[in-house]
Structure 1
Amino acid sequence: MNHHQLEKDIEHLEHVISHISAEDRIPLSYWRSRLDSVSLAALVPAQANRVKRLNAVLLALEERLKA
């Protein structure tokens, strides 16, 4: 994945994950898959930190869904 596409993907995930809930039409598993694919890319430290924050938010949503 090239640097520009990776940055666009992270930006998109930041936007979406900040607005979704466990009850949304698109299941959290879809966003988990998208985030996991970004996590596998070669990230610079700033991107890795952003992905880590996204992961924490998504994990919290997933936990709420389980409860």
Structure 2
Amino acid sequence: MNHQQLEKDIEHLEHVMPRISAGDRIPLSYWRNRVNSVLAAILVPSQASRVKRLNEALLVLEGLQK
């Protein structure tokens, strides 16, 4: 994944993550796949910390973390 696309994906996830819930029409598994694809990329430290926050927010929604 190129740097620009990676940044766009992170920005999109940061925008939608506060707005999603477990009861949404789009299942949490879709968002898990999106976050996992970003986690699999080579990230600079600032991106890594942003994606870590996204992952933690999704874990809360999935009920896997308090």
TM-score tier by shorter-chain length is over 0.9
User: Paired residues, what number?
Assistant: 64
**Residue identity matched to 1:12:** H
Query: Deviation above 6 Å: which 4+ runs of structure 1?
Result: none
SS of 2:25's equivalent in the other structure is coil
Cα distance between partner residues in 2 of 1:17 and 1:60: 11
Residue 60 of structure 1 pairs with residue 60 of structure 2: yes
SS of 1:26's equivalent in the other structure is coil
Q: Give me the TM-score of the superposition, normalised by structure 2.
A: 0.94
- RMSD over aligned Cα, in angstroms? 1.0
Deviation at 1:18, TM superposition (A): 1.1
Matches within 5 A, 1:1-67: 1-63=1-63
Cα distance between partner residues in 1 of 2:54 and 2:39: 10
Q: How much identity, in percent, do the aligned residues show?
A: 72
